Amino acid sequence: MEDYIKIAKNGLWSNNQALVALLGLCPLLAVTNNIVNAIGLGIATTFVLVASNVTISIFRNQIRKEVRIPIFVLLIASFVTIVELLMQSYFYELYLILGIFVPLIVTNCAILGRAEAFASKNTWGKSLLDGLMMGVGFSVVLIVLGAMRELIGSGTLFDQSALLLGSLGDTLSVNVFEDYQGTLLAILPPGAFIGLGLIVALKNFIDLRKS
Amino acid sequence: MRSNGLSTNQIMRQVVYALALGIGASYYFFGWGVLLQIILGVITAVVAESVFLLLRKQDVKKTISDGSAILTAVLLAVAIPSIAPWWIIVVGVSFAIIFGKQIYGGLGNNPFNPAMLGYAFLLISYPLQMSTWQVDFLSFGQSLELLFNWTNIDAVSGATRLDAVKTGLSLGNSIDNLQVYSSSQAWINAGFLFGGLYLLLRRIIFWQIPASFIAGIAVTAFLISIGNADAYLPAHNHLILGGTMLGAFFIATDPVSASTTPRGRIIYGFLIGVLIVVIRSFGGYPDAVAFAVLLMNITVPLIDYYTQPRIFGK
């Protein structure tokens, strides 16, 4: 049990892939200009992480050490293709917005990193939890950054939720500031770097306070 | 800038005095706008710096009184349109102080010129407000009203000369048919030039940066207009339009973010001048001092590394 709690804590906080390992920054920075994109990419990444972690841990004794990296990538790419096709059929508009960043999940170092560092050495149960927690930890950062950028950049929250939830989503969209003209920098790439920097700083600040 | 026995506070004070000529020229042509922006900017700078210093548990009084935050605010206030709404200068100065300076650890540690970082932030974030410039003299009441009630702006605003030239050229006009001279801009630039010469005489700034900055603009503008004089602004117009003189004497000479070796200063200033002409001529924005200075700020460690003076005898 202790192991499992440690795995969860690692994924969510102390070894957070986005805040501590600083992995997967390309999609993290590119699609977080609003919450809905962030949630979409977060779910997709988490799904791929869990699926690849479980599969790799099940076959970890059959995969030869010399060719493990190509096999990991092949497995990850298969799951990414599944996610891509699913998104294309059920969330077509979101798929169009996320564009190249859905297939690019293959190259997300966080996923290959977990496969190599964790799934190839542990049982499938632990790997499942590790994948889930790493994915959730990554998604939370995506969503917080997306919320920050959307709020400062265009003064809304959950804009275009309809892409994810259909007609239900229209009620969710909030216009936080009336008559707000937007701060373009927050939506452009520099805003992503500054925002991520601030979140990393906040995490380090909390850690320092604790110790 | 040189230390020559002056404290940071005294240096900053001299720089603000030297700015007075250019600000005076701006007041003469446009009225109170620029002064209101400066007042608002300085108040914001003091508040933002104090709050951040308190959070960082630093000595507030000592740091505020070095005057660097106030100078940043004045430079930014002079650079933005004098009829910008009040929150432009407030947001810009706060960004300059917090993200341009304090986040790196305060004065002396910032790799970028804080005022220009604030300017670039504003220009990218609020393009409409940042490209609406005043064309005529406005009374105190009119300026004050525009500051807090940014409506009917079209009646008093227009494009700057650089902007108008850029649009004219992109429509296929020849430079000969365009109005390229602007007396207000020429006088404001002259004001900053003479203020800058005062700083040179007082030995507060080094001559290398403004000299090579101006040479960089002149040489580049001359070279790209060879054989194609219709399509590019002549060198002498580059020198008296936009923020050229303010940039050469007051912005590029920032002691913290500029190169610190004698040869390095020449390279640094010259390349800023080159970049200004290149961005003005081929880029998407009409003026380019802020971008050119920020781009060269990044290269300062490299320039300094390769231009260390040789120790005699080695």
What's the average model confidence in pLDDT over B168-177? 81
Most confident of A167-176, B71-80, B158-167: B71-80
Q: Does B127 touch chain A (CB under 8 A)?
A: yes
More confident residue, B211 or A1: B211
Q: CA A167, CA A164: separation in Å to the nearest integer?
A: 9
Residue A6: is it exposed, middle or buried by C-beta count within 10 angstroms (0-12/13-18/19+)?
A: exposed
Q: B127: nearest CA in chain A?
A: A184
A-chain residues within 8 Å CB-CB of B149?
Answer: none
The alpha-helical segments, DSSP class H, found in chain B are: 8-30, 33-55, 60-64, 68-79, 86-100, 114-125, 127-130, 140-148, 161-170, 183-201, 208-225, 235-240, 244-246, 262-282, 289-306
Would you give the DSSP letter of residue A155? S
What's the whole-model pTM score? Answer: 0.89
Cβ-defined contact of A194 to B99 (cutoff 8 Å): yes
- Do the chains contact at A184 and B127, CB–CB below 8 Å? yes
Bridge partners for A175 per DSSP: A156
Q: How far is CA B143 from CA B34, B45, B85, B148, in A?
A: 9, 21, 10, 9
pLDDT on residue B1: 47
Task: Specify whether the CB–CB gap between B230 and B165 falls below 8 A.
Answer: no
Report, as an integer, the average pLDDT of A27-39: 87
Q: What is the pLDDT of residue A168?
A: 66
User: Which of A181, A184, A194 comes nearest B124 by C-beta?
Assistant: A184
Residue B104 CA, chain-centre distance (Å), reads 21
The pairing of strands A156-157 and B157-158 is: unpaired
DSSP collapsed to 3 states, B217-241: HHHHHHHHHCCCCCCCCCHHHHHHC
Contacts of B184 (CB under 8 A, 6+ apart): B25, B29, B30
Report whether pLDDT(B2) > 60: no
Record: contact B125-A185, CB cut-off 8 A: yes
Cβ–Cβ < 8 Å for B135, A193: no
At A60, is the secondary structure helix, strand, or coil?
A: coil
Higher pLDDT, B155 or B165: B165
Cβ-based contacts of B112 with chain A (< 8 Å): none
Q: Please give the distance of CA A86 from its chain centroid, rounded to a whole number.
A: 17
Q: What's A118's DSSP letter?
A: I
A174 forms bridges with which residues in the sheet?
A: A157
Q: Give contacts of B57 with chain A, Cβ < 8 Å.
A: none
- Which of B91, B99, B125 has its CB closest to that of A184? B125
- Over residues A172-189, mean pLDDT: 81
**How many whole angstroms separate alpha carbon A147 and alpha carbon A128?**
28
B125 has a chain A CB within 8 A of its CB: yes
pLDDT (0 to 100) of residue B102: 92
Q: Three-state DSSP class for B82? A: coil
Whole-number pLDDT of residue A167 = 67
Q: Which residues of A touch B131 (CB under 8 A)?
A: none
Contact A185 B127 (CB under 8 A): no
Q: For residues B22 and B191, is the Cβ–Cβ distance under 8 A? A: yes
Give the chain A residue whose CA is nearest to the CA of B92. A183
Residue spans per domain, chain B: 31-158, 159-309
Amino acid letter, B175? I
Cβ pairs A/B, distance under 8 A: 17
Chain A interface mutation, best of B91, B121, B123, B125, highest count of A Cβ atoms under 10 Å = B125
For residue B88, what is the nearest residue in chain A, using CA coordinates? A183
Q: Which of B123, B127, B175 is closest to B281 using CA atoms?
A: B175
pLDDT of residue B125: 92
Chain A residues with beta carbon closer than 8 angstroms to that of B91: 183
Residue A193's contacts (CB-CB under 8 Å, 6 or more residues apart) are A29
How far apart CA A22 and CA A190 sit, in angstroms, is 17
Q: Quote the pLDDT of residue B193.
A: 95
Overall average pLDDT of the A6-34 stretch: 87
Predicted local confidence at residue B225, as pLDDT = 86
On the question of pLDDT at B70 being above 70, the answer is yes
Does B99 contact chain A (CB < 8 Å)?
Answer: yes
- Cα B47 to Cα B41: distance, rounded to the nearest angstrom: 10
Residue A142 · residue A167 · CB < 8 Å? no
Nearest chain B residue to A198 by CA distance is B103
A128-144 pLDDT tens trace: 999 999 999 999 999 99
Q: Quick check: B126 and A184 CB within 8 A?
A: yes
Q: What is the pLDDT of residue A203?
A: 93
Residues of chain B neighbouring A183 (CB-CB closer than 8 A)? 91, 125-126
* A204 contacts: CB under 8 Å, gap ≥ 6: none
Six token digits for residue A108: 């997300």
Contact B191, B23 (CB under 8 A): yes
- Between the CA of residue A145 and those of A34, A164, A175, A205, what are the distances in Å? 8, 18, 18, 17
Q: Taking CB atoms and an 8 Å cutoff, what residues of chain B touch A194?
A: 99
Burial class (CB in 10 A: 0-12, 13-18, 19+), B176: exposed
Instruction: Search chain A and give the residue with CA nearest B125.
Output: A184
Please answer yes or no on whether B125 and A194 come within 8 Å at the CB atom: no
Tell if the CB–CB gap between A181 and B121 is shorter than 8 Å.
Answer: no
pLDDT digits (tens, 9 = 90+) for A84-125: 999 999 888 888 888 888 888 888 888 999 999 999 999 999
How much is the ipTM here? 0.83
**In the block, which residue shows the tokens 């008093």?**
B156
- The CA distance from B52 to the nearest CA of chain A, in Å, is 15
Confidence of residue B296 (pLDDT cuts 50, 70, 90): very high
Statement: residue B134 has pLDDT above 90: no
Which residue in chain B has the smallest CA separation from A153?
A: B125
With CB atoms and an 8 Å threshold, state whether B124 touches A188. Answer: yes
Mean pLDDT of chain B: 89
Confirm or reject contact between B126 and chain A (CB < 8 A).
Answer: yes
pLDDT tens track for B5-43:
678 888 888 998 999 999 999 999 998 999 999 999 999
The answer to whether the Cβ–Cβ distance between B126 and A183 falls below 8 Å is yes
Q: Tell me the C-alpha to C-alpha distance, in Å, between residue B276 and each of B22, B154, B290.
A: 20, 29, 9
